[in-house]
């Protein structure tokens, strides 16, 4: 009993220290900016892998999270058991809810890629920082600067430009754009919850619960839609695993690591490169080239997001930069 109490005291002390040190002053083992580049490159393949898969979008999303959970579970169960055990009931419920938001994000975004172009879908999904701030204002009354509001409105106008252009192409493309917009809103819920509880919960414990609940949610939704989990060609299984290993573990995990050494606002701006990479891969491998309206709308969105991110930059980020 004394040993358990001592372990818990040591754990809580570690968490308190983590809260007071937003960025590590230790020298990282590799260049953080090189790591960001590798992470952006990894996640930029996500849209291409989804489009190449012959499986229904819900099945592709389900296997992405199933394989992701299988990849991170051994590490958490071996090295993060203590953190997982000490999670409070409220933290567990919030992490589970975060996983549901992530599942619905993947379900809507992957489906959008079956209806609209890669360029339209990935650019609209990059609106997520705007919805994060709107949600934080609605739920927690966090302040929004005037410049941030202008940048956010500019980014939303860019999505309307893309939507209007795709509406002229047909209802399918417009429906895909709407799904991408919903995907951006849903992933914002995942990010807002994560930001609130990550100060008291370790990364391994948090991702274990989030990815586990997300995979379970997607499996349930897939079964309710009468989708079969097998058989699929070997190429699809390779794509499922690539989405998990490359895009999720090799991409998003890098971002979670690098945030210790690089200001959050810098990471947020760099992640915008995911859309550019996805558009390039769509053009190279699928011969899917963005039209003038998509280029115009994307330019407006990126300009608005850059303005929005710069205006929302925390003071400690400015000091660090």
Give residue-wise pLDDT tens across range 90-129.
999 999 999 999 999 999 999 999 998 898 898 888 888 7
What is the distance between the alpha carbons of residues 158 and 98, in angstroms, rounded to a whole number? 28
With b for 16 or more beta-carbon neighbours within 10 A and e for fewer, the 195-225 pattern comes to ebbbebbbbbbbbbbbbbbbbbbbbebbeee
- Roughly how many angstroms between the first and final C-alpha of the chain, as a whole number? 46
CB contact at 8 A, 254 and 304? no
User: Among 310, 307, 290, which residue's Cα sits nearest to residue 124?
Assistant: 290
Q: What distance in Å separates the CA atoms of residue 258 and residue 255, rounded to the nearest whole number?
A: 5
Rg, C-alpha atoms of the chain? 20
Query: Could you give the dihedral angle defined by the CA atoms of residues 265, 268, 273 and 278, in that order, rounded to the nearest 10 degrees?
Result: 180
Question: What is the per-residue pLDDT for 157?
Answer: 85
Q: What is the per-residue pLDDT for 106?
A: 95
Residues of the chain with confidence (pLDDT) below 50: 1-22, 315-321
Residue 183 structure tokens: 């995907």
Q: Which residues of 90-112 are buried (b: 16+ CB within 10 A; e: fewer)?
A: ebbebbbebbbbbbbbbbbbbbb
Asked if 76 and 208 touch (Cβ cutoff 8 Å), the reply is yes
In three-state secondary structure terms, 22 is coil
**Total length of the chain:** 321
How open is the CA angle 116-120-124, to the nearest 5 degrees?
Answer: 120
Q: What is the pLDDT of residue 166?
A: 66
Residue 246: the pLDDT is 95
> What pLDDT, on the 0 to 100 scale, is given for residue 111?
96
Nearest one of 284, 287, 309, 278 to 41, comparing CA atoms: 278
pLDDT at 291: 82
The 8-class DSSP code of residue 262 comes to: S
Q: How many CB atoms lie within 10 A of CB 249?
A: 18
170 Ramachandran zone, left/alpha/beta (phi>0; psi -120 to 50): left
Q: Are 102 and 184 in contact (CB under 8 A)?
A: no
Tokens of 255: 């971002």
pTM of the predicted model over 0.85: no
Inter-residue contact 244 to 71 (CB < 8 Å): yes
């Amino acid at each position: 009993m004394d040993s358990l109490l001592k372990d818990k005291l040591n754990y809580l002390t570690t968490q308190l220290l983590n809260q007071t040190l937003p960025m590590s002053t230790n020298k990282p083992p590799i260049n953080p900016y090189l790591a960001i580049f590798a992470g952006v490159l990894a996640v930029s393949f996500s849209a291409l892998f989804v489009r190449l898969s012959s499986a229904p979008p819900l099945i592709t999303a389900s296997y992405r999270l199933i394989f992701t959970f299988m990849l991170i579970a051994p590490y958490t169960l071996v090295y993060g058991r203590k953190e997982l055990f000490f999670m409070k009931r409220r933290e567990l419920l919030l992490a589970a809810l975060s996983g549901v938001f992530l599942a619905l994000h993947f379900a809507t975004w992957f489906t959008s890629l079956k209806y609209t172009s890669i360029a339209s879908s990935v650019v609209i999904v990059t609106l997520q920082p705007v919805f994060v701030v709107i949600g934080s204002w609605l739920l927690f009354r966090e302040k929004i600067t005037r410049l941030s509001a202008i940048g956010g409105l500019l980014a939303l106008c860019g999505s309307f430009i893309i939507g209007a252009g795709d509406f002229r192409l047909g209802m399918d493309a417009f429906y895909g754009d709407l799904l991408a917009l919903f995907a951006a809103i849903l992933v914002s819920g995942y990010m807002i919850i994560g930001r609130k509880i990550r100060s008291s919960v370790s990364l391994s414990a948090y991702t274990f619960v989030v990815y586990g609940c997300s995979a379970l949610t997607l499996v349930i939704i897939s079964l309710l839609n009468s989708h079969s989990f097998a058989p699929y060609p070997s190429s699809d299984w390779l794509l499922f695993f690539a989405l998990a290993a490359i895009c999720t573990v090799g991409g998003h995990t890098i971002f979670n690591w690098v945030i210790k050494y690089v200001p959050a606002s810098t990471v947020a701006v760099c992640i915008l490169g995911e859309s550019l990479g996805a558009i390039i891969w769509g053009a190279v491998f699928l011969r899917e080239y963005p039209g003038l309206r998509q280029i115009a709308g994307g330019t407006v969105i990126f300009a608005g997001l850059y303005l929005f991110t710069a205006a929302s930059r925390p003071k400690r980020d400015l000091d660090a930069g």
